[in-house]
Amino acid sequence: MKKLLIVEDEEALCLLYKEELSREGYDVTTVHDTEQALEMLGRESFDLIVTDIRMPGRDGVELITEIMGLRKDIPIIINTAYQSYREDFMTWAADAYVVKSSSLDELKSKIKELLS
**What residues line the site for other proteins (CB under 8 A)?**
10, 12-13, 15-16, 19-20, 54, 56, 81-84, 99-104
Chain Cα centroid distance, residue 38: 12
Q: Which residues have CB under 8 Å from 35's CB, separation 6+?
A: 57, 58
- Residue 19 CB, shortest distance to other proteins, in Å, is 7
- Residue 81 CB, shortest distance to other proteins, in Å, is 4
Cβ proximity of 26 and 1 under 8 Å: yes
Encoded amino acid at 19, one letter = E
- Residue 45 CB, shortest distance to other proteins, in Å, is 27
- Residue 104 CB, shortest distance to other proteins, in Å, is 6
Query: Pairing state of beta strands 27-31 and 76-80?
Result: unpaired
Q: Rounded to whole angstroms, how far apart are CA atoms 97 and 77?
A: 6
Pick the closer one to other proteins by CB: 65 or 101. 101
Pick the closer one to other proteins by CB: 25 or 56. 56
Pick the closer one to other proteins by CB: 74 or 104. 104
